[in-house]
Amino acid sequence: MTELAFYAMSLADTSYQFGGTTPVNGFDCSGFVVHVFNRSAGLNLPRTTQEISKSGFALNNEELSLGDLVFYDTQHAPFSHVGIYIGDSKFVHAPKTGSRVKIERMGDKYWASRYNGARRITE
């Protein structure tokens, strides 16, 4: 999953676009994850964050490794946001309208208070 994490990071600064699924047109959070997993690992994930949250298997924080998915409650609904873990308690994601794909610290107050868990996607 190292290649997947590096590819995800290479997309930093790509525009956010609600419903977006490509680097050219921009990404929303699930479109970003679906694109990265398809392009880097040849895996086809479901399109929505809620559906992705049922894929793979759940992890404890101590088990996180490159390429695992981290989920957050950003819309008063569990698993309403997803990002890709890149190590050192950081993740990369497409945050919101008016923003760009970026790297964040999981321990930042905003993210830590909204954390819903993590999942590992396997082939």
* Residues with catalytic roles: 29, 81, 93
**Half-sphere exposure of residue 49: CA atoms within 13 angstroms, side-chain side:** 28
CA separation, residue 7 to residues 3, 60, 115 (Å): 6, 24, 23
> CB-side exposure of 75: number of CA atoms within 13 Å?
10
